[in-house]
């Protein structure tokens, strides 16, 4: 459980102190968990709800049917690859979201990174604004269950990079790092310094739909 809580705190961008204060009013809750303690059920339930974890003490469970296969004693899940490009620069209009094929991912690995096979989707990147992290043609694994970028007020000492999300921006599919300094502000950030951050705030946020968080990507080397 401790590892799950630590990973969820990192994913949500919430400090241990912030989580503890919100749940119990003092900073001891996460400290006790790190020390091997087991809080009461009501406190755990509130903490899991805050961190987006299911209260059955485990990684996210599959919420729908998935196609599986067993190879050399290991279980694999088929994750659909959609006929869609996610622009790293300006948006891309995708006329179809047809599934063109599926790729098999080991279910134990998906669980380890906190992704449910039933909510995982694959797509490809177009453009250069997310280089050197994401390159044109790269395949990305999207966790559609994680579709609410956390609000966090970061200070200068916090050097963590913002998480990457797939999103629809004014009807166009894009992939960007997202930072939310407040509930009514969202920064779309590129890794390529040639592309400045884009601020969305107020009513502009209504034009954005988060598809999900990018949990993994794969790059094919081309000489």
Q: CB count, 10 Å around CB of 178?
A: 20
pTM of the model: 0.68
Q: How many domains would you assign to the chain?
A: 2
For the chain, helix, strand, coil in percent to 5 are 25, 35, 40
Beta strands of 117-220 (E only): which ranges? 120-126, 139-143, 164-169, 172-182, 185-189, 198-201, 208-218
Q: Are residue 25 and residue 95 in the same domain, yes or no?
A: no
Domain that holds residue 43: 2-51
Give domain status of residue 59, yes or no.
no
Contact 164, 213 (CB under 8 A): yes
Give the pLDDT score at 187. Answer: 94
Give domain status of residue 141, yes or no.
yes
Give domain status of residue 63, yes or no.
no
C-alpha span between 190 and 202 (Å, rounded)? 21
φ, ψ of residue 212 in degrees (nearest 5): 165, 175
Express each pLDDT in 143-202 by its tens digit.
Answer: 999 998 988 877 777 778 899 999 999 888 999 999 998 888 999 999 999 999 999 998
Q: Are residue 36 and residue 81 in the same domain, yes or no?
A: no
Cross-strand bridge partners of residue 189: 177
What is the CATH number for 137?
2.10.109.10
């Amino acid at each position: 459980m401790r590892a799950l809580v630590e990973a969820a705190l990192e994913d949500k961008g919430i400090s241990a102190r912030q989580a503890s204060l919100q749940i119990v009013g003092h900073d001891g809750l996460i400290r006790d968990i790190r020390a091997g303690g087991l809080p009461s059920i009501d406190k755990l339930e509130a903490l899991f709800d805050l961190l987006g974890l299911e209260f059955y003490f485990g990684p996210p469970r599959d919420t729908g049917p998935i196609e599986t296969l067993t190879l050399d004693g290991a279980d694999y899940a088929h994750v659909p690859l959609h006929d869609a490009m996610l622009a790293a620069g300006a948006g891309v209009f995708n006329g179809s979201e047809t599934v063109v094929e599926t790729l098999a991912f080991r279910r134990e690995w998906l669980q380890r990174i906190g992704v449910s096979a039933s909510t995982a989707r694959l797509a490809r990147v177009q453009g250069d604004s997310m280089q050197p992290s994401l390159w044109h043609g790269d395949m990305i694994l999207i966790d559609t269950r994680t579709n609410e970028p956390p609000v966090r007020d970061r200070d200068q000492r916090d050097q963590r990079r913002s998480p990457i999300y797939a999103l629809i921006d004014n009807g166009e599919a894009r992939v960007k790092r997202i930072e939310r300094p407040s509930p009514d502000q969202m920064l779309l950030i590129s890794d390529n310094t040639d592309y400045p951050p884009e601020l969305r705030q107020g009513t502009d946020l209504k034009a954005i739909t988060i598809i999900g968080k990018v949990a993994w990507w794969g790059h094919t080397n081309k000489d």
